[in-house]
Amino acid sequence: MSDFLVIDHLRAGYGEAVVLPDLSLTLKDGEVLALLGRNGTGKTTLVNSIVGVTRRFSGTLRLGGVDITALRPDQRARAGIGWVPQERNIFRSLTVEENMTAVAQPGPWTVEKIYQMFPRLKERRSNFGNQLSGGEQQMLAVGRALTLNPKVLLLDEPTEGLAPIIVEELLAALGAITRAGGICSIIVEQNAQKILGLSDRVVILERGAIVHDAASAALKADPATLERFLGVTAKV
C-alpha cells in the first residue's frame, strides 16, 4: 500500500498556542489507525488540523498526492475528508434523511446503505436531529460522514458518553466500515480496549508528539507500553 495521507512537519494549534510543535505522520491507503493518548495530548488537535479548523503555523498536508494545505475545511471535505467530531455537529433542524442527503456525494456509501448498517436511523428517518438520543445522533454523525464517500474518515471519540449497548452497536458498525475497505481511517479513543481490535496500527501522542507507533497487535502484547503511556494495566 502506498502513503495516502501525508502530514509533514505540522506545527499547529489555536490562536498563539502551539499544540503540535512538529508532527509528521503518514497513513496508507485503506489503513485504520488508532490514535491514542491521555487527555490533552493533542489527539483532537491533530484531527482538527487535518479537517482544517486549527491555526497552522507551518507544515504541509497531502491527500492522494494532492497538496491540501491551503484548502478551506469545506474544500477538504469535498476532496475526501470525512469528519465525525466529538460534538457530532448534526443539523438539528433537519430530519435524519435530510442530514445525509444534504451532504451526500456519489459513491458506494448511499443513504440506503447507512440504513442497512443503522436500522434505528431508518426507523427515525423523518425525525429531526434534535429529537434523537445521543446514541442515535452519533450514528447519524457517522452516517452523514460516510455519505460524503470520503477517502479518509476521522472519528473523534466516537463512543464517548454512550450507553454500553450503543457502544457495542457502534463498534460493530465501525468494524464493518473498516472491513469494507476503500477508506483509510483515524479513530481517536482514550480506551485502548475498545479500539485496538479494529485497527491495523496505533499511534500514541504525548505533548503533541508521537511517542509510539506500532502495529495494533504488537501494542496489545506490550503491557509495559500500555501502562507507561495510557495507564492501562489490565490485559486488553
In a domain, 19, yes or no: yes
Q: Note whether residue 143 is domain-resident.
A: no
Give me the pLDDT at residue 112, please. 97
Domain encompassing residue 222: 3-80+150-230
Rounded to 5 degrees, what angle do the CA atoms 4, 196, 8 make? 30
The predicted pLDDT at position 233 comes to 60
pLDDT in tens, the chain (236 residues): 679 999 999 999 999 999 999 999 999 999 999 999 999 999 999 999 999 999 999 999 999 999 999 999 999 999 999 999 999 999 999 999 999 999 999 999 999 999 999 999 999 999 999 999 999 999 999 999 999 999 999 999 999 989 899 999 999 999 999 888 889 999 998 778 889 999 999 999 999 999 999 999 999 999 899 899 988 764 54
In angstroms, the CA 115 to CA 123 distance is: 9
Q: Are 174 and 159 in contact (CB under 8 A)?
A: no
**Predicted pLDDT at 234:** 47
Residue 137 located in a structural domain: no
- What are the cell numbers at 111? 443513504
pLDDT of residue 188: 96
The CA-atom distances, in angstroms, between 53 and each of 56, 145, 158 are 9, 17, 19
**CB contact set of 228 (below 8 Å; sequence gap of 6+):** none
Residue 191 has a pLDDT of: 78
Q: How many domains does the chain have?
A: 1
pTM surpassing 0.85?
Answer: yes
Cα–Cα distance for residue pair 210/98, rounded to 1 Å: 39
What is the CATH classification number for the domain harbouring 34? 3.40.50.300
Whether 91 maps to a domain, the answer reads no
Give the E-state strand segments of the chain in sequence order: 3-14, 17-28, 32-36, 55-63, 66-67, 81-84, 152-156, 184-188, 201-206, 209-215
User: Which residue type occupies 100?
Assistant: M
Residue 27 pLDDT = 96
Residue 196 is assigned to a structural domain of this protein: yes
Question: For residue 119, is it within any domain?
Answer: no
